[in-house]
Amino acid sequence: MTDETRNQSQIQGEGDRESARRYEADTQRFVESGKVEQAAKDAAEQSPETAKRAEQAGEARAKEKDPALHRDYQKPTTD
């Protein structure tokens, strides 16, 4: 097996198990850290402008927009 073939076999695609395990572990560590209450309080206290800028920054990093949020219901689907 070449290095390229080995690398391709490790690519699991969207929703892969390794990423899911890593996300679950990171989330569990955050919850156990005791920082959830403070993070929620900080988020609630931010200004609407700050929240909007944070949302726009996150959207800018996304590969594509969520079709469930930006769906044109006048356009027929291909389901």
The answer, yes or no, to whether residue 32 has pLDDT greater than 90, is yes
Residue 12 near residue 18, CB atoms below 8 Å: yes
Q: How far apart are CA 2 and CA 37, in angstroms?
A: 49
Average pLDDT over residues 16-21: 87
> pLDDT tens for residues 37-55?
999 999 899 999 999 999 8
* The pLDDT value given to residue 69: 74
* CA pair distance 62, 70, nearest whole angstrom: 14
* Average pLDDT, integer, range 6-23: 74
Taking all residues of the chain, what is their mean pLDDT, rounded to a whole number?
Answer: 81
The per-residue pLDDT for 22 is 93
Spatial distance between the Cα atoms of 30 and 27, rounded to a whole number of angstroms: 5
Who's near 46: CB < 8 A, 6+ residues apart? 54
pTM above 0.85, yes or no: no
The SS3 of residue 4 is helix
